[in-house]
Amino acid sequence: MQTIPLTGNIRRHITLFFLLLFLLLMAIYTYWRMYPPLGPEEIVQKALANLEKAQSYTYNLNAVSLIQGQESLLTQVEGAWKAPDSHYIKGETLGNTLEAYIIADNYMIKDPQGDWLEFRGGEGPSLLRETVLFSQTPLRDLHGFHSGQIAAEKTVAGRKCYVLTGRLTRVSNPLWQAFWQDFTCQLWIDKKELFLRQLWLAGVSIGSEDRLTVFLELADYDAQLTIIPPLPKDKQQ
C-alpha cells in the first residue's frame, strides 16, 4: 500500500484544525460550567417569577370533569388581567353565560337582559368568584411543583418550548381539595423568555376513577391592555 507523504502545508492545516477543535470544546465546556442547564424545578420557578413580574396577560381556560363516565364542561372562559388588580372574564361556567369586570374589590357582571350590575367583593355572585378562583388557582399552585421532568421540546404559537411534567404538592381551591387529589401537570414554557405558555393539570377523585382536567393558555405578556368596565345601569344617565 502506497502512502502519501504529508507536506508542511498539509501538516499546518491539520494542526490548525485540531487546535480550533480544542478551543471550541474548551469554550463549550467553560460555557456549561458558567451557565449550567436549568433543571425542571428551576425552569418552573423562573417562569413563575416572570409571571409575577408581568404587568398584564390574556388567557383561555377550559375545565372539564369526568364523573361516572359522564363528561361535563365546568368552565370555558377567555380573560385578561392587568396589574395591579383588573380582570375581564367572558365565557361559560356551569352552563351559565358569564361576562364580568373585576376592578380591585368592585365586581361588575352583565345580567341576562344585557344590563351591567355592580357589587362589592363579598356581595358578588358566587359563580363569578368561583370562575376567578378557577383561573388563578393553577398558577398559584405551581409553587408546589415537584418531581419534574423535561419530557420534550415543542413549538407553541411559533415559540420553542420546554414541555415539562410533574406533580403538585397541593391545590388551594377549596372545592378541588374536597373532591380531587393527586394532581399531575404538564407545562409548556418557552425556552427563550421562560414564560409559561400552556398548563394542563388533572386530579383524580378520592375512591373512584372520576377526574378533573384543566387546560390554561397564557399570551400577550406585558401587552398594553385596557380594562375599563361600562357604567352600571343605575349610574347611566
Q: What average pLDDT does range 165-170 have in this prediction?
A: 92
Task: Say if 28 falls within a structural domain.
Answer: no
Tens digits of residue pLDDT in 31-84: 444 444 688 999 999 999 999 999 999 999 999 998 888 899 989 999 999 999
Residue 189: predicted pLDDT: 95
Domain limits at 59? 40-219
Residue 136 lies in a domain: yes
Q: Are 57 and 220 in contact (CB under 8 A)?
A: yes
Judged against a pLDDT cut of 70, whether residue 200 lies above it is answered with yes
The C-alpha cell at 121 is 367583593
Task: Quickly state the pLDDT bin for 93 (edges 50, 70, 90).
Answer: confident
Contacts by residues 101-107 (CB-CB < 8 Å, ≥ 24 positions apart): 101/227, 101/229, 102/128, 102/132, 103/227, 103/229, 106/229
Which candidate, 64, 56, 80, 47, places its Cα nearest to that of 148? 47
What digits encode the pLDDT tens for the residues 96-121?
A: 888 999 888 888 888 888 888 888 86
Residues 6 or more apart in contact with residue 156 via CB below 8 angstroms: 188, 190, 197, 198
Is 45 among the domain residues?
Answer: yes
> Which pLDDT does position 17 carry in this prediction?
66
pTM of the full structure? 0.80
Confidence (pLDDT) at 206: 76
What is the CATH number for 55?
A: 2.50.20.20
pLDDT digits (tens, 9 = 90+) for 6-36: 566 666 666 766 667 666 666 554 544 444 4
Q: What is the per-residue pLDDT for 112? A: 84
35 lies in some domain? no
Higher pLDDT, 127 or 166: 166
Q: What is the dihedral of CA 143, 149, 155, 157, to 10 degrees?
A: -20
In a domain, 190, yes or no: yes
- pLDDT over 70 for what percent of the chain? 80
Q: Which amino acid is at 220?
A: D
Residue 163 falls inside a structural domain = yes
Q: Which amino acid, 34?
A: M
- Quick one: what percent of the chain has pLDDT higher than 90? 40
Number of domains in the chain: 1
Confidence grade of residue 138 (pLDDT, cut at 50, 70, 90): confident
